[in-house]
């Protein structure tokens, strides 16, 4: 008989590619993870993982078991949801991980709405960049992620996750007030090819959006200054340190006196924001109202 908790450990090892990283995500010791993997191999009668200099990878047998693992864990999530519904679980805590702008734009309004419509549901919010929140959901550290599409992100049909689209927003060009394009109605990105750039660090989903937009315009941006805080990005642009692309909602409430904000000429780079939960959990009586509140907040 295969134990479900060992399947969860197998998936964590496959996701994180090292026993140490999987153990940290699951709040276990590396030796405990190794012991559980060994026990799972004994249960199945197959070698499931191979250890090498660059970490751990699944064997062909491990890949077969992983494909079933995603389905089994999703079904267990559905079972928990139905049991919670049966016991009319209308009170409990749901943990949401979201990036800062997403918290301001949809999470905080959703929290306020749920306080009126579902007072038994307590929301705990954690600030996490768009690429960090999805692994947190998969590792059961949080229940809901508000994340951003990025290169390498799990696709919408990933068997481990259920996606709920929330909103899409354009990036605007931010240039110093005395920049040569400050008077333009729209900014052609190709005209900024020789400028110094300010942007998020690699790994941040917005970094991918900026770099891809510039590549589509025919150049690689010369990123001289890096910050994941868009207030810092705008402040550096105000100091004439360079130009930037910033999501439109991130500019709300900022001091923009030292910069000019203009739409991008042509097809604007866009970030697409969605909520994600472990597949099967979307019908949980505590999580379902949270997803609905996030969707309604995004619509507003």
Can you give the CATH number for the domain in which 62 is found? Answer: 1.10.10.10
**pLDDT for the residue 211:** 93
> Are 178 and 266 members of one domain?
yes
Judge whether residue 85 has pLDDT over 70.
Answer: no
Kindly write down the DSSP assignment for every residue of 196-238, as one continuous string.
Answer: EEEEPPTTSHHHHHHHHHHHHTTS--EEEEE-S-HHHHHHHHH
Domain closes at, from 62, 83, 104: 83
Q: How confident is the model at residue 260 (pLDDT cuts 50, 70, 90)?
A: very high
Whether 204 contacts 230, CB under 8 Å = no
Q: What is this structure's pTM?
A: 0.72
Number of folded domains that form the chain: 3
Model confidence pLDDT, tens digit, residues 162-198: 999 999 999 999 999 999 999 999 999 999 999 999 9
pLDDT average, residue stretch 272-296: 94
Range of the domain at 159: 89-166+272-298
**pLDDT for the residue 89:** 57
Whether 68 contacts 4, CB under 8 Å = no
Judging by beta carbons within 10 Å of its beta carbon (0-12, 13-18, 19+), is residue 258 exposed, middle or buried? middle
**pLDDT for the residue 90:** 67
Model confidence pLDDT, tens digit, residues 135-167: 999 999 999 999 998 777 788 889 999 999 999
Can you give the CATH number for the domain in which 115 is found? Answer: 3.40.190.10
| CA–CA distance, 3 with 62 (Å, rounded to integer) | 15
Domain closes at, from 83, 102, 128: 83
**pLDDT for the residue 129:** 80
**pLDDT for the residue 254:** 92
């Amino acid at each position: 008989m295969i134990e479900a908790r060992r399947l969860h450990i197998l998936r964590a090892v496959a996701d994180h590619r090292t026993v140490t990283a999987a153990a940290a995500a699951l709040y276990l010791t590396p030796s405990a993870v190794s012991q559980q993997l060994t026990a799972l191999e004994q249960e199945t009668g197959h070698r499931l993982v191979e250890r090498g200099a660059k970490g751990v990878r699944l064997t062909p047998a491990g890949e077969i078991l992983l494909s079933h693992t995603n389905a089994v864990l999703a079904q267990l999530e559905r079972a928990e949801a139905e049991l919670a519904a049966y016991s009319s679980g209308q009170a409990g805590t749901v943990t949401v991980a979201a990036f800062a702008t997403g918290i301001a734009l949809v999470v905080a309004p959703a929290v306020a709405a749920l306080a009126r419509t579902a007072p038994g549901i307590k929301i705990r919010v954690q600030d996490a960049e768009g690429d960090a929140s999805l692994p947190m959901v998969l590792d059961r550290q949080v229940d809901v992620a508000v994340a951003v599409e990025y290169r390498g992100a799990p696709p919408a049909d990933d068997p481990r996750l259920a996606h709920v689209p929330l909103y899409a927003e354009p990036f605007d060009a931010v240039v110093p007030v005395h920049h040569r394009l400050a008077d333009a109605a729209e900014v052609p990105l190709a005209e900024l090819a020789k400028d110094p750039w300010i942007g998020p660090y690699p790994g941040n989903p917005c970094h991918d959006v900026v770099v891809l937009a510039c590549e589509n315009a025919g150049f690689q941006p010369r990123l001289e200054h890096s910050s994941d805080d868009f207030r810092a990005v705008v402040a550096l642009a105000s100091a004439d340190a360079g130009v930037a692309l910033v999501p439109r909602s991130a500019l709300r409430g900022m001091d923009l006196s030292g910069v000019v904000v203009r739409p991008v000429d042509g097809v604007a780079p866009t970030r697409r924001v969605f909520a994600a939960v472990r597949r099967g959990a979307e019908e949980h009586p505590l999580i379902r109202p949270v997803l609905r509140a996030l969707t309604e907040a995004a619509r507003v």
